[in-house]
C-alpha cells in the first residue's frame, strides 16, 4: 500500500484513493512520484517517514498489513523486523566491527557452538545487554589462537575485545556473531590498568607501607589466603606441613577465588578476616598462569588492602616473568607458593639453630665464670696463708668482702643465665616433635623408619602411626604422590 496516496486522500477529506497497485491493475491513476507530498501537513510527514523507513521499496501491500484508511496505517512485527534488518545491513554494510564487552554468561552447546551473554556496565549499572554467538568452527580457530589463555578469557566475568558482525533475527532480536578475539588488546588493557594502579599507589605513598612492618622472629601461626584445591595452594601446604625438619605450623585457611572479576573483592575480604585473626604472617598464594591471570592482583583496592594490612603479607603468585602490583606492595614476594613455604621453613630452622647456639654459649659462659671464680678464691686463700700475721687479719677482711661479692655476683649471674636457659628451653620445647604431635599431627613409620614420601609406600603396606597419646597400626589402601595431583 502506498502511504502517500492514502494519506493525501484522507487529508483532503474526500474519498480515499485506492492503492496504486489496484490503480495500476485497473489502468488508473498517475505514475508514482518520489519525494515529499505536496501538502506540508504533520500527519502526512509522519506517515511519509514511517513509509520510508518501514517500506522503502514500496513492498507493503494490503495482504501484509491491516490498515484503517481514514485514521492510521498498522504494520506487522515481521515488517518492522525486516525493516530493522535491512537498516542494520545498510549501516554496517556486512562488515565485522570491533567491540568491547563483558561476558556475563557463557554456555557451550552440544554441537560445539558457544553462546554468550554480553553486557556493558558502569558504576554498577547495566548500560547494554546483547547476545553473542561463536560458531563451532570459528570457536576452534579462536581457542587455538588464544592458546593457554582460552579458558581464562572465555568465562563469565571476563572483559573481551572482539570483532563481530551485527545480526538481526525477527524472533531472537539483535545479536553479534563473533569472528575474532584480540588478545593483544586485552593484554594491553590489563597493562594499562596495572600502570594506573601503580601510579595511584605511588602518589599515595603506599608501595612500601607493608614492607616496613617488623617480621616476628618465629613464624608459626600462618593465615593462608588462597583457593583450596588449586595446585599452588596444595604445593604450599605439602611443603610447609611435611617439611623434613618436622617443624610444626598452625595454618588457618581463608578461602577465596584468585581469578575473575569477583576475585579482588573476595581477596580483600579474606585479607581483612586474616588480619583480624592476629597471625604471625599472612600468606597470599596463587598458581602459575598467563599475564591476564595476574589482572586481579593489579586491582587498586586489592593492592591498597595489602598495603594497609597490619600484618606482614607474603605473596607467592607464581608468575616467573612478571610481577603483579600485589607483589610490589607486599612485605616480601616469592616466585611460587612452594618458595613461600620453603622460605618459612628455612626461617624457622635458622631461628631454631640460633636459639640452640645461644643456649650452648650461655651454658659454657656460666661454667667458665664459676671455674674462674673458684680459681681466684683458691689463689687468695693461698696468699693469705703466706702473709705475716699483721696482714692476715686485713686480708681476711678483704677476702671476706671479695668472697661475699664473688659469691653474690656468681649467684646473680647464675640466676640470670638459669632464667635465660629456662626461657630458651621453653622455646626449644615448643619446636619438639612431641609438641607437634600434641597439636594433632602424627608420625608414620614403615619397617621402623619414618615415612616422608608417600611414593615409598605400596598398597597393603603396614604402617605404624605414632600419636601424642599412643600408637596405631594402619594398612595402606592407596598411594597418591604429589605428582599425581
Return the DSSP state at 263: H
Q: List C-alpha distances in Å: 353 to 13, 356, 435.
A: 109, 5, 18
Cell numbers 585479607: residue: 271
Give the CA angle between residues 249, 430, 353 to the nearest 5°.
90
Residue 161 pairs in a beta bridge with: 100
Contact 166, 174 (CB under 8 A): yes
pTM above 0.85, yes or no: no
Residue 108 pairs in a beta bridge with: 114
Q: What is the pLDDT of residues 287-322, one digit of tens each?
A: 766 677 788 999 999 999 999 999 999 999 976 567
How buried is 481 (Cβ within 10 angstroms: 0-12 exposed, 13-18 middle, 19+ buried)?
exposed
Contact 237, 212 (CB under 8 A): no
CA distance 7 to 175: 36
CA distance 201 to 203: 5
Supply the angle between the helices 337-386 and 231-241 in degrees, to the nearest 10: 20
- Residue 208: predicted pLDDT: 94
323 CB neighbour count, 10 Å cutoff? 16
- Residue 320: predicted pLDDT: 57
H/E stretch holding 104: strand 97-108
Residue 167 pairs in a beta bridge with: 175
Cell representation of residue 71: 485514521
DSSP sequence for 300-311: HHHHHHHHH-SS
Q: Is domain 93-181 classified as CATH 3.30.930.10?
A: no
- Number of Cα atoms under 13 Å in the Cβ half of residue 471: 8
Cell representation of residue 453: 614420601
- Residue 56: predicted pLDDT: 52
Q: What is the pLDDT of residues 381-401, one digit of tens each?
A: 777 666 666 666 777 788 888
CA distance 114 to 146: 15
- For the chain, what is the radius of gyration of the CA atoms? 42
- Residue 11: predicted pLDDT: 30
Q: Using DSSP, state whether 440 is helix, strand or coil.
A: coil
- Residue 355: predicted pLDDT: 80
- Residue 124: predicted pLDDT: 80
- Residue 15: predicted pLDDT: 38
Fold designation for 191-347 = Rossmann fold (3.40.50)
Q: Find, among 313, 339, 324, 301, the residue nearest to 224 by Cα.
A: 313
H/E stretch holding 68: strand 67-68
CA distance 187 to 269: 27
- Residue 174: predicted pLDDT: 92
pLDDT below 50 — which residues of the chain?
A: 1-54, 58-66
- Residue 44: predicted pLDDT: 35
Cell numbers 686485713: residue: 394
Amino acid at each position: 500500500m502506498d502511504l502517500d496516496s492514502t494519506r493525501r486522500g484522507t487529508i483532503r477529506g474526500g474519498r480515499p484513493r485506492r492503492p496504486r497497485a489496484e490503480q495500476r491493475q485497473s489502468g488508473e491513476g498517475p505514475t508514482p512520484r518520489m519525494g515529499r507530498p505536496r501538502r506540508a501537513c504533520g500527519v502526512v510527514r509522519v506517515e511519509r517517514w514511517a513509509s520510508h523507513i518501514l517500506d522503502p521499496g514500496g513492498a507493503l501491500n494490503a495482504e501484509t498489513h491491516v490498515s484503517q484508511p481514514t485514521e492510521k496505517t498498522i504494520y506487522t512485527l515481521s515488517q518492522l523486523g525486516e525493516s530493522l534488518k535491512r537498516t542494520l545491513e545498510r549501516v554496517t554494510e556486512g562488515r565485522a566491527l570491533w567491540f568491547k564487552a563483558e561476558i556475563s554468561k557463557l554456555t557451550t552447546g552440544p554441537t560445539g557452538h558457544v553462546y554468550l551473554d554480553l553486557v556493558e556496565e558502569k558504576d554498577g549499572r547495566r548500560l547494554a545487554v546483547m547476545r553473542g554467538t561463536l560458531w563451532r568452527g570459528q570457536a576452534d580457530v579462536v581457542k587455538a589462537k588464544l592458546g593457554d589463555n582460552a579458558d581464562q578469557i572465555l568465562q563469565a566475568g571476563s572483559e573481551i575485545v572482539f570483532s563481530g558482525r551485527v545480526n538481526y533475527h525477527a524472533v531472537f532480536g539483535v545479536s553479534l556473531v563473533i569472528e575474532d578475539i584480540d588478545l593483544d588488546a586485552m593484554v594491553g588493557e590489563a597493562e594499562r590498568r596495572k600502570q594506573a594502579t601503580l601510579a595511584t599507589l605511588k602518589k599515595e605513598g603506599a608501595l612500601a607501607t607493608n614492607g616496613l612492618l617488623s617480621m616476628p622472629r618465629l613464624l608459626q601461626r600462618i593465615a593462608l589466603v588462597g583457593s583450596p584445591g588449586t595446585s599452588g595452594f596444595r604445593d604450599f601446604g605439602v611443603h610447609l606441613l611435611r617439611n623434613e625438619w618436622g617443624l610444626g605450623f598452625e595454618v588457618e585457611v581463608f578461602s577465596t577465588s584468585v581469578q575473575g572479576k569477583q576475585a579482588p573483592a573476595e581477596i580483600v575480604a579474606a585479607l581483612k578476616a586474616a588480619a583480624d585473626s592476629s597471625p604471625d604472617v599472612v600468606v597470599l598464594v596463587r598458581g602459575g598462569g598467563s599475564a591476564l591471570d595476574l589482572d586481579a592482583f593489579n586491582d587498586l583496592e586489592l593492592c591498597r588492602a595489602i598495603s594497609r594490612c597490619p600484618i606482614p603479607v607474603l605473596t607467592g603468585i607464581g608468575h616467573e616473568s612478571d610481577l603483579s602490583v600485589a607483589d610490589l606492595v607486599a612485605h616480601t614476594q616469592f616466585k611460587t607458593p612452594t618458595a613461600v613455604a620453603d622460605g618459612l621453613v628455612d626461617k624457622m630452622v635458622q631461628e631454631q639453630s640460633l636459639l640452640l647456639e645461644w643456649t650452648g654459649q650461655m651454658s659454657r659462659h656460666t661454667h667458665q665464670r664459676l671455674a674462674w671464680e673458684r680459681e681466684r678464691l683458691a689463689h687468695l686463700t693461698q696468699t693469705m696463708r703466706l702473709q705475716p700475721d699483721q696482714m692476715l687479719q686485713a686480708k681476711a677482711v678483704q677476702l671476706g668482702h671479695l668472697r661475699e661479692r664473688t659469691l653474690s655476683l656468681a649467684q646473680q649471674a647464675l640466676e640470670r643465665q638459669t632464667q635465660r636457659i629456662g626461657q630458651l628451653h621453653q622455646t626449644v620445647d615448643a619446636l619438639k616433635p612431641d609438641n607437634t604431635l600434641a597439636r594433632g599431627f602424627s608420625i608414620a613409620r614403615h619397617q621402623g623408619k619414618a615415612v616422608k614420601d608417600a611414593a615409598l609406600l605400596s598398597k597393603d603396606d603396614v604402617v605404624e602411626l605414632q600419636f601424642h597419646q599412643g600408637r596405631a597400626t594402619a594398612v595402606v589402601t592407596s598411594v597418591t604422590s604429589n605428582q599425581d595431583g
